[in-house]
Amino acid sequence: MDPTDEQAGAWTEAFDSGKFIRKSSEFREHIAKGELFDVETGRYHLYISYACPWAHRTLITLKLLGLENHISVDVVDWRMNSDGSWSFNPEEEGATADTINGESSLEGVYNRAFSGWNESRRIGTVPVLWDRQHNTIVNNESREIIRMFDTFANAGMGNGTSLCPIELRHEIDAMIDSNYESVNNGVYKSGFARTQAAYDKAVTALFARLDELELHFDGREWLVGEGRGQLTEADICLFTTLVRFDLVYVVHFKCNLRRIIDYPNLQSFVERMIDLPGVKETCHWHHIKAHYFWSHQNLNPFRIIPLGPLEGAHTH
C-alpha cells in the first residue's frame, strides 16, 4: 500500500468513485447519572489535538462550560505519523505527555481500551474521552462528547452554562446536521477528492451552504434561538471549520471560490466566537496550519508550509 493511502486510511472508509467517505467512530458509550459511566468530577480525561477541528469542538465546549477542574486534558503532537496515527511529544510547544497512561502514542491508549486494537489494523482518532475508573475509552465521537459535557453542566459542575438547553435541542441538532455533510465534512470531501467530478460536487455544495449561512446570519449573532440567537453547540461545530478555512482549507483543500473573510456575516461570527472567554487560547494557529500542510503528504509531498495569509481569523 502506498504510504499516502495508508495514512488516508486512518480516517477514510473508502474512496468510492473518487469520493471521500469518513469512517465512523468506534467507541460510543455515554456518561449518564447513575449509569456505568456516571457523572463524576475528576474521573474523565480528554485527549485532543489542537489541529483537529473535531477535537477542537470538545476543548471549546469544556472551556465554555467551565469544566477545566472536572475533566483533565492532554494534547498530541501536531505531526500526524505516516500511518495516520498520533504521538505524544512534551518537547513540542503546546503538546503534552500522556499524563494518565504514560503511552508514547494514542495507539497505546486505544490498545488499553481494546486489547486487539493493534492487531485490528485500525488507527485511533481524536478526540478521546477516557474513564480513569474503568481504564477504557468512553467515546471518540466529538458530537456525542460535547453533548455529554452538557450533562456535567446540568449536574451542577462548571459555570452553570448550558450549550444545549432542552427547548432548543431539536433546532440545535437540525442545524448541526445541516452543516455537517456540506461544510464540516465538505472541506475534506473537496480536499481529498480523487476525481474532478467528486471535487466539483463537494466544493459546489460547500459554497452553496456557506452562501446560505451568510444570509442566515443577517441580523443574528448565533445560529439558533429567537431574535439574535443563543450560543449553542451548533455554533461551536460550525466555528471549528470556519476558523481553519482561510488559514488552511482555501489552499490545502482547494476551497478557493471565496474566503470566509469575503463573507462579512460569517467573518463577524468567527471573530465573535474567538472573543468569547477561553476560546482564543484553544486556537493554536501553528498546530493547525503546520499539521495540515506537513502531515498530508498525498496533497503536499514536499511539506512546504505557506507563509500566508496575512488576513483572517488567525490575526484577530
Which of the following is catalytic: 188, 199, 249, 292?
A: 188
Q: Is 110 one of the annotated active-site residues of the chain?
A: no
The span from the CA of 195 to the CA of 170, in Å, is: 36
Angle (CA) 51-55-60 rounded to 5° is 100
**Burial of residue 286, with CB atoms counted within 10 A of its CB: 0-12 exposed, 13-18 middle, 19 or more buried:** middle
Burial of 138 (0-12, 13-18, 19+ CB in 10 A): buried
Phi, psi of 74 (to 5 degrees): -120, 155
188 is catalytic: yes
Residue with cell 478555512: 245
The active-site residue, picked from 47, 50, 52, 249, is 52
DSSP letters, 89-152, are: -TTSTT----TTT--SBHHHHHHHHSTTHHHHT----S-EEEETTTTEEEE--HHHHHHHHHHH
C-alpha cell at 49: 489535538
Residues serving a catalytic function are: 52, 188
